Amino acid sequence: FEELCAGTERKYIMVSGKGGVGKTSLAASLAVRFAQEGHTTLVVSTDPAHSLGDSLAQDISGGLPVLVEGTALPLWGMEIDTEREKEKFKAWSAGQGRKEAESFMGGFGLGGVVEQLADLKLGELLDSPPPGFDEAVAISKVLQFVQGEEYARFSRIVFDTAPTGHTLRLLTVPDFVEASLARIVRLRKRLGSASQAVRGLFGAGGSQEEAVDKLEQLQASIRLVKDLFRDQQATEFVIVTIPTEMAAAESIRLAKALRKEQVPIRTLVVNQVLQPGLREQYLATRRADQQRALQRLRDDPQLAQLQLIEAPLFDLEV
């Protein structure tokens, strides 16, 4: 922690691992510690199934950093609303809602380009939200953090990521986006060299050059994010796991995949380790905790219709 905390330059901390191992809890508590040490800190969830707000007991779903209440700490939380971004993308693809499209492209720092590309029916090239789209949205937000002035004040940005598979896609999605963009740039260039008459069919003349320039800028930005993920100084990946065979196997796969992507990882947090010397008091406290949660499940009107079956926790990994 001291290492992560040292220095005033911006650091990104990506917390990743299998579902349910404690990523959100670790991301939130790391963020609190950074803020306690004086870092202006943003903890941001890129998991489409957000629980960061629950962990902070606060609604942070607006898509912008929200000051965490109840402390005097310089701590902000934010959940990236991938569903809303997807809607914007669909509107853009359908060729409606120019405004939404511009704001979507604005996320990539490309606001004005939409206007110029509209005639080309760019949406058809990227027909429906592609796989890894959630991650692409997260990436575009990372770009905002890197480049946006409104985020300059944050010296620590902690990412509460979605379980393993998503995170790996997050790392490889720039390749996918890059490939799509390369296609568009090629197409644009080909159009650019076409005869004046053909170009006329697509409307504007001179602005096409500009559009290609902007797309190339976008490609450069995506490369920036790719490099950022692999930057030993600025970025730290923390793998969280729990001491079970299943979680161990997945963590080993994750570490291997990250290495393959040349992502630096130095820390493995093994959460929920039973400490020596636990006595009946521990079991009694856990049981009381569970009984409270069970009661909540029994009392909830949403769940009242369901047949509730309790399965025991065994004293070995099943």
Ligand X SMILES: Nc1ncnc2c1ncn2[C@@H]1O[C@H](COP(=O)(O)OP(=O)(O)OP(=O)(O)O)[C@@H](O)[C@H]1O
Per CB under 6 A, 24 contacts ligand X: yes
Q: Report the partner that residue 102 touches, choosing among ligand X, Mg ion, none (CB closer than 5 to 8 A by kind).
A: none
Q: Which contiguous run of DSSP H or E holds residue 238?
A: strand 235-241
Alpha carbon distance 41, 271 (integer Å): 23
Alpha carbon distance 172, 262 (integer Å): 11
CB count in 10 Å sphere of residue 89: 23
Per CB under 5 A, 241 contacts Mg ion: no
135: left (phi over 0), alpha (psi -120 to 50) or beta: alpha
What residues between 135 and 164 interact with ligand X by CB under 6 A?
163
Using CB under 6 A, pick the residue from 4, 14, 21, 157 that binds ligand X. 21
Using CB under 6 A, pick the residue from 4, 12, 16, 23 that binds ligand X. 23
Annotation marks residue 47 as catalytic: yes
**234 or 268, CB closer to ligand X?**
268
**23 or 169, CB closer to Mg ion?**
23
Identify which range of 13-21, 66-74, 190-198, 204-212 contacts ligand X by CB under 6 A. Answer: 13-21
Alpha carbon distance 168, 254 (integer Å): 8
Give me the residue whose beta carbon is nearest to Mg ion.
24
Per CB under 6 A, 65 contacts ligand X: no
Closest CA to 116 of 206, 178, 187: 206
State the minimum distance, in angstroms, from the CB of residue 305 to Mg ion. 28
Residue whose pair of structure tokens reads 């853009």 in the numeric block: 92
List the Cα angle 218/65/28 in 5-degree steps: 110
Q: Which residues bind ligand X (CB under 6 A)?
A: 19-25, 47, 51, 163, 271-272
Active site residues: 47
Q: Which residues bind Mg ion (CB under 5 A)?
A: 23-24, 51
